[in-house]
A and B are shown apart, each in its own frame.
Chain A
Amino acid sequence: MSATATTGRKRKGTAPRGVPYLFLAPAIILFTLFLLLPIGYAIYLSFRQIKVSGLGLGKGSRTEIWAGLDNYASALGDPELLGSALRVLAYGLVLLPIMLGLALLFALLLDAPRVRFGRFAKLAIFLPYAVPGVIASMLWGFLYLPAVSPFNDVIGALGLPEPNMLGGGSVFFAIVNIAVWGGVGFNMIVLFTSLRAVPGEIYESASIDGASDLQIALRIKIPLLMPSLIMTTVFSLIATLQVFTEPLTIRSLTNSISSTWTPLMKVYRDAFSQNDIYSAAASSVVIAVVTLVLSFGFLRLVSRQAFGGENR
C-alpha cells in the first residue's frame, strides 16, 4: 500500500511542468483563434480606411491607409447611429419590463400550489423561444401586413377601421411584440427553475405563520428570485442592444424601417452593403463598449442589493 502511494506521489511530483498547459491548450487556442484574434483584427480595422486616387478605376488605385481616430469620430458623430441607439434604448425600456414581468408572472403562477395543465402551459409558453427569429418575424410579418392579415379581415368585417401595424408609429410596438412573444418563454423557464430550487419548508413555515399565496409570492418568492431576475435582465439587456433579425426581416415589408433602424443594422449595412468594413468595425467596437458598460453598470448597481449579504 505504502509503496504504491509513494510511487504515485513520486509520479505526480515528476510530471513535466508543461502538462497543465497541454490540458489548457485546446481552450486557449480556440479562445485565441475565434475570439481574441477576430476582436483584435476588428479593432485594427477600425483604425484603417481606404484611399482611392483619381477615378478609382485603374489597377492599384485603391490603397488601405492608417485612419487614426477618424472612423471613431464619424461613428460617434453620426446622427443615424445615435438615433438608432436611442431607438433601441426606448425599445429596451418598453420591452424589458413587459417581457420580464410576464415571465415572472407566469413563473409564479406555474409554481402556485394548485396548478392545472402545468406541463402544457409551460410548453406552450416556452415554444415560441424555439422558433428561429427569422421565421418568427416572417410569421408576424404576415399577421401584420394589412392585405394578408387575418386580424384585419376580422376587424374589417366588424366594420371597424383596419389598423396598419407596420405604419410609422406602430411598427416599433410590432417589433416589441415579436420580441416579447419570443422571449417570455426562456425567461419564464429560468425563473421557474430557480423557484423549484427553493426548499419547500420555507413555504410551509410561511403558511403556518398565516401567509397567503399572494404574500408568499411577494414577500418570499420574489426576493429569493432576485439573483435569477438580475441574470435574466442582464441577458435580456444585451440581447436588446443587439436587436437585428426582427427589424431586418420586417424591413422588406414596409417603408417604416430604415436600414439603420438599430445599431447592428447600421453595422451590417456599412460592412456588407456599402463595402466599408472600416467604419463598420469602429461602430462595432463602440457598440461593444457601450454594451459592456451598460451590463456591468447594471450589475454593479443591483449587486449590492441582491448579493450584498453573500459578499460580506
Chain B
Amino acid sequence: MRPSIGKSLAAAALATTLLATAACSGGGDTEEEPTGPVELSFWSWAPGIEKTVDLWNSQNPEIKVVLSKQAGGADIVTKLLTAAKAGNPPDLAQVEYQSLPTLVSNDVLADIAEQTKDVKDKFPAGAWQQVTLGTEAVYAIPQDSGPMMLYYREDIFKEMGLTVPKTWDEFAATARTVRQKDSAKYLTTFSAADPGWFAGLAQQAGASWWGIDGETWKVSVNDAATKKVADYWGGLVTEGAISGNPMYTPEWNKSLNDGTIIAWPSAVWGPGVLEGNAPDTKGKWAMAPLPQWSAGENKTGNWGGSTTGVTAASKHKTAAVKFATWMNTDTAATDSLITSGAIYPAASAAQASQHLQAPPAFFPQQADFYTSAKTIADSAAGFTWGPNTNVTYDTYKDAFAKAITDKTPFSAALDVMQSATVADMQKNGFTVAG
C-alpha cells in the first residue's frame, strides 16, 4: 500500500499505455526475402544458450544471430503476443510446447513446413506431433523435452526402510508409511502452482485434453484419466499423507534441503533444480521411473520442454529456419546445449551424445542416469495442446489451490478447469464440441 496519487496515476497511465501498445496491430507481410548478410533476433531463456549462438555466429558470418535473454515460459508468451501486435517481434523465439497453439492462433508463428521437410525424421514422433498440432503445418522445431521421472532421497529411503514405489498404489502406501515413521517428514507435495507438472502426470495416465476433429476443437480436460489422477492426489492431500504446499517457494527449498520432503516426481531437468535449490543434498538423490498406474506398465508424461519457433513477421524466414534446424539437430550445437545449458535435447541422435554418458554432477553415484532417462523419454505419451492453455493453466492454479485449502474433491476442480476452458474458447468464437 503506497498512498501516493502521483505514483498511482503514473502506474495507471503506464498500464494503459501497455494495453495500448499491446493492441496496436501492424506488421505487413513481406514475401520477398532479401539476399546478402542478414541479422536475426532471437529470444530465449535457456541458460548458457549464448555459447551456442556464439558458435553459430563464428561459423556463419552471413547470418548473424543476436540473442536477447528473456524471462522464461509464460512471460515470453505475453511478450511475444505484445511484440507481434506492435509489429516488431523477434525472428526466432524459444516457446514451450503448450504455448504453441496460443501463438499460432494469434498469428505469431510462421508455418515452416516447406523449409523443414528433411527435419521430421530427426525427432521422436511424440515431440514432432506437438509442433505440428496434428496438422500438415510445422510451427516450430523441438529443442528439449521434459520426460517425467521420480527423484527420491536414496539415503533417507534406506534409513527409513522404504522401497522405491513402482506403482502409484505403492507410492501412496509409501507416503503413509513416511508419515507414520516420522511426522516431520512428507514423501512429497502436491503443488497447485504448477499446472505443467500436473499436465505431465495426467499425460502419463493417458489424458487427452484437446483434440482436433475436422474443423472442431474437442476439449476434455476432465476426462476419466485426468479425473483418476486428480482424485488420487486429492485423496493423499486430504488425508494428510502428502503436503499440499506449492513448489518453488523458500519453504519447499528448505524442505528439500533438510530432508523433510524426500521425493519429487519431476522431469529430466530436475537435477539442475535440486542443485540450485537444495545444494546440501549432492549425491543423496537417485532417479527412478515414475510410478505406474498398472504394474508392469512403462509410461510417462512431459513436464515442460521447449521449441524454437520462427515468427510470421520475420523477414528472413529461410535463414531463421536454417539456424533453428542447426541449433536443434547439429551435433556440435546440441552438444553445446547439453554442456553449457544442461538441456536434454529432443533430437533422437542428440540424446545419444557422448556428453550424456556421464551422470549429472549432482547425481555422481547414478552412472546410468542418462541411459535410463533415454528409455524413459521414449515412453512419453504424445499430447495435443489447445489454443488457450494459458486460461486452463490459470484456472488450474486457482481451482486446485482452493480445493486444497477447502479440502474439496480435486475432480471438481478439474470440472472448473474444463468449463473455464470451454467458456473462453466459445467466447472467442472457436468451434468447440463440448
- Do A258 and B135 contact each other (CB < 8 Å), given the known contacts A147-B251, A252-B193, A252-B249? no
| A55–B19 CB distance below 8 A | no
Given A41-B16, A55-B431; A277-B23 close (CB under 8 Å):
yes
- Distance (whole angstroms) from the CB of A170 to the closest CB of chain B: 12
B431: chain A residues at CB < 8 Å are 53-55
Q: Is B81 an interface residue (CB 8 A)?
A: yes
CB within 8 A of B251: which of A54, A253, A275, A288?
A253
Residue B371, interface by CB 8 Å: no
Instruction: For B215, list chain A residues within 8 Å (CB).
Output: 54-55
Contact of A56 among B312, B394, B428 (CB under 8 A): B428
Residues of A close to B248: CB separation below 8 A: 252
Complex interface: chain A residues within 8 A of B400 (CB) = 255
- Are B245 and A255 in contact, with the CB atoms below 8 A? yes
Determine the chain A residues whose CB is within 8 A of the CB of B25 once the complex forms.
64
Q: Per-residue CB proximity of A254-267 to B under 8 Å, as 1/0?
A: 11111110000000
Per the bound structure, the CA–CA distance linking A298 and B33 in Å amounts to 62
Cβ contact of B401, chosen from A61, A255, A281, cutoff 8 A: A255
Report chain A residues within 8 Å CB of B16. Answer: 38-39, 41-42, 284
Which residues from A are CB-within-8-Å of B212? 55
Interface flags for B243-271 (1: CB within 8 Å of A; 0: not) read 01110111100110000100000000000
**Contacts of B1 on A, CB cut-off 8 Å?**
95, 99, 133, 178-179, 182-183, 236, 239-240, 243, 246
Verify if B178 is at the interface (C-beta below 8 Å from A): no
Q: Determine whether the beta carbon of A232 is less than 8 Å from that of B401.
A: no
Contact B429 A51 (CB under 8 A): yes
Inter-subunit contact A55/B430 (CB<8 Å): yes
Contact segment of B4-12, B164-172, B295-303, B332-340: B4-12
Contact B107 A62 (CB under 8 A): yes
- Contact (Cβ within 8 A) A259 B398: yes
Bound form: Cα–Cα A252–B400 in Å: 14
Query: CB of A293 within 8 A of chain B?
Result: no
Which among A38, A51, A95 has the highest number of chain B CB atoms within 10 Å? A38
Segment from B97-105, B116-124, B200-208, B361-369 that makes contact with A: B97-105
Q: CA separation between A56 and B11, bound complex, in Å?
A: 34
C-alpha gap A253/B96 in the complex (Å): 24
Contact check, B8 vs A242: say whether CB atoms are below 8 A apart: yes
In the bound complex, residues from chain B placing their C-beta under 8 Å from that of A284 are 15-16, 19
Give the distance to chain B from A200, nearest Cβ to Cβ, in Å.
Answer: 29
Chain A neighbourhood of B15, CB < 8 A: 284
Question: Which residues from A are CB-within-8-Å of B216?
Answer: 55
- Asked if A277 and B19 make an inter-chain contact with CB atoms under 8 angstroms apart, the answer reads yes
Q: Which residues of B contact A257 (CB under 8 A)?
A: 401
Shortest B432–chain A CB gap in Å is 10
B20 touches A52 (CB 8 A): no
The residues of B that contact A167 with a CB separation of less than 8 Å are: 405
What residues on A are CB-neighbors of B78 within 8 Å? 272-273, 275
The CA-CA distance from A232 to B3 in the complex, in Å, is 8
In Å, the complex CA distance between A239 and B11 comes to 11
A259–B12 contact, CB under 8 A? Answer: no
CA distance A280 to B15 in the complex (A): 11
Please tell me if the beta carbons of A57 and B101 are within 8 angstroms of each other in the complex: yes
Interface range, B side: 35 or more
A253-B249 CB under 8 A given contacts A179-B1, A258-B401, A258-B402: yes
Kindly provide the distance from the CB of A130 to the nearest chain B CB, expressed in whole angstroms: 11
A168 adjacent to chain B (CB < 8 Å)? yes
A183 near B401 with CB under 8 A, answer: no
- CB contacts under 8 Å to A, within B197-241, are 212, 215-217
Scoring A64, A258, A274 by chain B CB atoms within 10 A of each residue's CB, the highest score goes to A274
Neighbouring A residues of B3 by C-beta, 8 Å: 183, 186-187, 232, 235-236, 238-239
Interface check A142, CB cutoff 8 A: yes
Whether the Cβ atoms of B255 and A147 lie closer than 8 Å is yes
Q: Is the CB of A259 within 8 A of B394?
A: yes
Q: Does B330 contact A (CB under 8 A)?
A: no
* Complex CA distance for A129 and B406, rounded to whole angstroms: 35
CB distance from B207 to the nearest CB of A (A): 21
- Would B17 and A142 count as touching, CB distance under 8 A? no
Q: Cα distance A55–B402 when bound, in Å? A: 32
With a cutoff of 8 Å between Cβ atoms, the chain A residues found around residue B40 in the complex are none
A285 to B254, CA, bound (A): 43
Within 8 A of A (CB), among B63-86: 74, 78, 81
Output the nearest chain B residue to A38 by Cβ-Cβ distance.
B16
> Which residues of chain B from 1 to 47 have a CB within 8 Å of any chain A CB?
1-5, 8-9, 11-13, 15-17, 19-20, 22-23, 25
CB pair B430–A275 under 8 Å, yes or no, is no
CB-CB under 8 A from A34, the residues of chain B are 13, 17
A13 at the interface (CB under 8 A from B): no
A113 within 8 A of B: no
**With A and B bound together, what is the CA distance between A187 and B3 in angstroms?**
8
Query: Given contacts A255-B401, A255-B405, A275-B78, is CB(A56)–CB(B19) below 8 Å?
Result: no
Q: In the complex the two chains form, is B429's CB within 8 Å of A254's CB?
A: no
In the complex, the answer to whether A275 meets B107 with C-beta atoms within 8 Å is: no
Q: Is the CB of B148 closer than 8 A to any CB of chain A?
A: no
CB-CB nearest in chain A for B102: A275
In the assembly, what is the distance between CA of A269 and CA of B394, in Å?
A: 8
- Asked if B424 is at the interface of the complex by the 8 Å CB criterion, the answer is yes
Taking the complex as formed, is A108 at the interface, i.e. its CB lies under 8 A from any CB of chain B?
no
In this assembly, does B106 line the interface, its C-beta being within 8 Å of a C-beta of chain A?
A: yes
Q: Which residues of A contact B137 (CB under 8 A)?
A: 57
Residue of A45, A167, A254 with highest tally of chain B CB at under 10 A: A254
A64 to B424, CA, bound (A): 16
Contacting pair A62 B105 (CB below 8 A): yes
**Residues of chain A within 8 A of B388, CB atoms compared:** 274
Most chain A beta carbons < 10 A, residue from B3, B8, B429: B3
Residues of chain B contacted by A242 (CB below 8 angstroms): 8, 11
8 example contacts (A-B, Cβ-Cβ < 8 A) are as follows A57-B104, A57-B135, A61-B107, A148-B251, A182-B1, A239-B4, A242-B8, A255-B192
Give the top 7 A-B pairs by smallest Cβ distance, nearest first.
A38-B16, A179-B1, A255-B401, A235-B3, A147-B251, A52-B429, A41-B20
Q: A42-B19, A57-B387, A255-B402 are in contact. List 12 more A-B contacts (CB 8 A).
A: A34-B17, A41-B20, A41-B23, A54-B430, A55-B430, A56-B105, A133-B2, A141-B250, A186-B4, A257-B401, A259-B394, A275-B78
Q: Which residues of B contact A (CB under 8 A)?
A: 1-5, 8-9, 11-13, 15-17, 19-20, 22-23, 25, 74, 78, 81, 101-102, 104-107, 133, 135, 137, 192-193, 212, 215-217, 244-246, 248-251, 254-255, 260, 312, 387-388, 390-391, 394, 397-398, 400-402, 404-406, 424, 428-431
